[in-house]
Chain A
Amino acid sequence: MSAREDEFLEYVQSGGQVETTDWMPDDYRAKLIKFIEMHGNSELMGVLPEREWILRAPTLQRKLALTAKVQDEVGHSQLIYRVVSDLGKPREHCLDDLISGKSKFHNVFHYPTKTWGDVGVIAWLVDAAAIISQKALLKCSYAPYARIMKKICWEESFHILHGRDVILTMMNGTDAQRELVQEALDRWWGPLMQFHGNPIPAEDDPMYIWRIKSQGNGEARQQFLDGYVPQIWELGLTVSDPKLRKNDDGVWEFSEPDWDELKHVVTGHGPKTEERLGLRRTTRGETEWVRRVVLPEAA
């Protein structure tokens, strides 16, 4: 590392923030693009499992709420791709790499949504897991990303509200409805525990070293368990992990998440990966004429 890079590293590690027009090491820029692009991809791909349920949602109010959530998430991807564009990778290139399978998106969006219970669990717990990561990004060393995270977190809290409302309604309903929630929770628990990634120590995580992230993966998972397991239990739901418990020192114990599954899924081999990327490919082809008319430079 050059002296200038050392100085930069020291600056971000002591809490300094960087703007688009500031000098930054190439490695920092590359890490930022990779990290932020994956976030943008996840917001965009994350709407597909929910989109499948807009027409099947049980009431008009639910259809509208779900549509609003989908619009929020697409808006998040727009905001995030703007940040990536300003770092040097245009949105169109991000979309090319997404649909060709070159870039990644979060594990939870590679799975099917079997019932309305899944929709509730996604909006409640997947968004809760996401908001924990996103809140930690409010302190990101790259200031433009940290700033938009404020707006994103604010909207995510709506999604959790919506998800909790769906879950509570079902938990106050018939036995069949309650079972639907329990089944959905059982299906999602594995992917939820994998969501925050391998528990590599923060000091070895390049995203932490550059202070793109402000906490380690293990810490985020603990925070998730601490915030949401009590909320799950109080509804009379059970978590399928027999080892799950909170120790006297406040640390949660749990079975080792399936890291092989995580790796397999995020590298493009999830049960719904191909189908969802295929849908993106189709719609991108179908809307090509719109971009040609509206954005001459994009064609």
Chain B
Amino acid sequence: MIYEVFRQERKGQAFAHAGSVEAPNEEFAEWYAREEFGRRGESVALWVVPREAVHEIDEFVDELGRNYHRVDGYPLKEKLKQARERAGTSADRRS
């Protein structure tokens, strides 16, 4: 069995993938993970997860073009320029 190991470097930080261990069961997996990823005080906590339990999603299709979810849905630069021109304040600014 392959177990994926995630480690937290300091309290409050996100867990990040550290690597994997091969073990016959959970108990061994936990001990291997401890030895591999916690021995030198480099982690304050570990998550040990069977590989099958991890579901990867790597396709993000945006069929409806919902750009209001993203930064590129808000093109402020051009609008700001226009608004400044209208207000007559664009000359005061250096950029």
Using a CB–CB cutoff of 8 Å, the interface residues on chain A facing chain B are 21, 71, 75, 78-79, 82, 85-86, 91, 147-148, 151, 154-155, 158, 294-296
State in angstroms the CA–CA spacing of A21 and B55 once bound together.
Answer: 12
B26 within 8 A of partner (CB) = no
Chain A, Cβ-Cβ closest to B22: A82
B19 contacts A79, CB within 8 Å? Answer: yes
Tell me which residues across on chain B come within 8 A of A91, comparing CB atoms.
22
Would A155 and B40 be within 8 Å (CB), given that A79-B19, A294-B24, A294-B28 are in contact?
A: yes
What are 11 A-B interface contacts by the 8 Å CB criterion?
A21-B56, A71-B39, A78-B21, A78-B36, A79-B19, A82-B2, A151-B19, A151-B37, A151-B42, A295-B24, A296-B24
- B55 CB to nearest A CB, Å: 12
State in angstroms the CA–CA spacing of A148 and B36 once bound together.
Answer: 11
Tell me which residues across on chain A come within 8 A of B18, comparing CB atoms.
151
- A296 CB to nearest B CB, Å: 7
State in angstroms the CA–CA spacing of A82 and B19 once bound together.
Answer: 9
Tell me which residues across on chain B come within 8 A of A151, comparing CB atoms.
18-19, 37, 42
Chain B, Cβ-Cβ closest to A22: B58
Q: Is the interface of A mostly helix, strand, loop or mixed?
A: helix
Q: Is the interface of B mostly helix, strand, loop or mixed?
A: mixed
The contact string, 1 if C-beta is below 8 Å from chain A, for chain B 34-62, is 01110110100000000000001000000
- B76 CB to nearest A CB, Å: 31
- A69 CB to nearest B CB, Å: 11
State in angstroms the CA–CA spacing of A75 and B36 once bound together.
Answer: 6
A85 contacts B22, CB within 8 Å? Answer: yes
- B52 CB to nearest A CB, Å: 14
State in angstroms the CA–CA spacing of A269 and B40 once bound together.
Answer: 37
- A86 CB to nearest B CB, Å: 8
State in angstroms the CA–CA spacing of A151 and B5 once bound together.
Answer: 13
- A237 CB to nearest B CB, Å: 30
A82 contacts B28, CB within 8 Å? Answer: no
- A151, A155, A158 — which one has the most chain B CB atoms within 10 A of its CB? A151
Tell me which residues across on chain B come within 8 A of A295, comparing CB atoms.
22, 24
The contact string, 1 if C-beta is below 8 Å from chain A, for chain B 12-25, is 00000111111010
List the 7 closest pairs (A to B, CB-CB), nearest first.
A295-B24, A294-B24, A148-B19, A82-B20, A75-B36, A79-B19, A82-B22
State in angstroms the CA–CA spacing of A89 and B24 once bound together.
Answer: 18
Chain A, Cβ-Cβ closest to B51: A86
Tell me which residues across on chain A come within 8 A of B22, comparing CB atoms.
82, 85, 91, 295
